[in-house]
Amino acid sequence: MTRLIVLTTAAFLIACTAKAPVVAHEDQHAEPAPRVAPAEPQLTVETINDNLHVLFGAGGNVGVSTGSDGIVLIDDKYARNAEEILYQVEQLAGENDDLLFVINTHLHGDHSGSNPDMKEAGAMIMAHENVRTRMGTRYMNEAFRAMNEAKEEAFWPVVTFSNEASLHFNGITARAVHTPTAHTDGDSIVIFEEPNVIHMGDTLFLGMFPFVDVDSGGSLQGMIAAHDVALGLSDANTVIIPGHGPITDKAGLTDARATLQAIHDRVRVRKEAGETLQAIIEAQPLADMADLDSFIKQDGMITAAWRSMGGTLN
């Protein structure tokens, strides 16, 4: 069935048929065979309401909206997760299993790694314009001392926006809002207006030190500002989906913001006093936050804060 989904941005209006073929098939009318359950499932499902779910597992949290129009995903994890994601959303969607859109909250491969597979399955990939630009760019990630190669065009979004865009589907509106210089310079938070749910992508790491990708235009100050945007759109009943970590609410987001502000202030005071990065690291100003250590440790968090304030690594 062909359905009309409307996408609006501040600059233009796009109407597109959700089933317009992205990849040619021999038989356009043949029903695809049901997907097979994975032998060793890697993902778990948490249901927010009948039509909104979250897939958890390695990589970023995936938002899943289902309904009469079909499926819209927020992020799509790693490439290795593609088949299981498609299986899970097929189970959640039932008969209305047309995959319409994937909104990438940013460029990183744990949130966009399955883009080619999702395009193959019929989805249009949508993201901030900086996501498309950075996916096609080779750069050095200083946090991990690794060269990030440009991604093939199959990964790139085909619909981009500058400030915000809205999808109107399944009887609701999903609004993607750009949050500048946060986790990267291409982050978006996605507000599901009617069900009062916000997917924050990697502008929110809950219960752990965040990765601030300064080399992709991110900053700790921008992360804090993204929290402020979401808090301004929240009330006591808002469900908050982080990029990493469990589902939370406005109180949890408020606590997370306070933690980021404390990190920023502790590093700023020492930097403004003339201390070097190494001296700040050795002083261990985040020692009382050791429970937030994950793949980003205290040293890495201090370094990200330092660099966010214009400090160099030399």
Tell me the C-alpha distance between 289 and 298, whole Å: 8
Residue 230 included in any domain = yes
Q: How many domains does the chain fold into?
A: 1
* Dihedral over Cα of 77, 227, 225, 191: its sign: positive
β-strand pairing of 197-199 with 239-241: parallel
Q: What is the pLDDT of residues 91-141, one digit of tens each?
A: 999 989 999 999 999 999 999 999 999 999 999 999 999 999 999 999 998
Q: Which band of pLDDT confidence, cut at 50, 70 and 90, is reported for residue 11?
A: very low
Range of the domain at 129: 4-21+32-255
Residue 87 included in any domain = yes
Q: What is the pLDDT of residues 137-159, one digit of tens each?
A: 999 988 888 899 999 999 999 99
Residue 73 included in any domain = yes
Buried b / exposed e along 275-311 (16+ C-beta atoms within 10 A): bebeebbeeebbeebeebeeebebbbbbbbbbbbeeb
CA torsion 83-84-89-91 (nearest 10°) is 110
Q: What is the pLDDT of residues 204-220, one digit of tens each?
A: 999 999 999 999 999 99
Tell me the C-alpha distance between 146 and 165, whole Å: 33
How many CB atoms are located within 10 Å of the residue 27 CB?
6
Average pLDDT of the chain to the nearest whole number: 92
Q: Write the CATH number for 233.
A: 3.60.15.10
Residue 279 included in any domain = no
Residue 27 included in any domain = no
Taking 80 as the threshold, does the pLDDT of residue 230 lie above it? yes
Residue 269 included in any domain = no
Q: Which band of pLDDT confidence, cut at 50, 70 and 90, is reported for residue 20?
A: very low
Q: Which band of pLDDT confidence, cut at 50, 70 and 90, is reported for residue 250?
A: very high
Residue 237 included in any domain = yes
Considering only residues 308 and 41, tell me which one the structure prediction assigns the higher pLDDT. 308
Taking 50 as the threshold, does the pLDDT of residue 280 lie above it? yes
Taking 50 as the threshold, does the pLDDT of residue 18 lie above it? no
- The pTM (predicted TM-score) of the whole model is 0.90
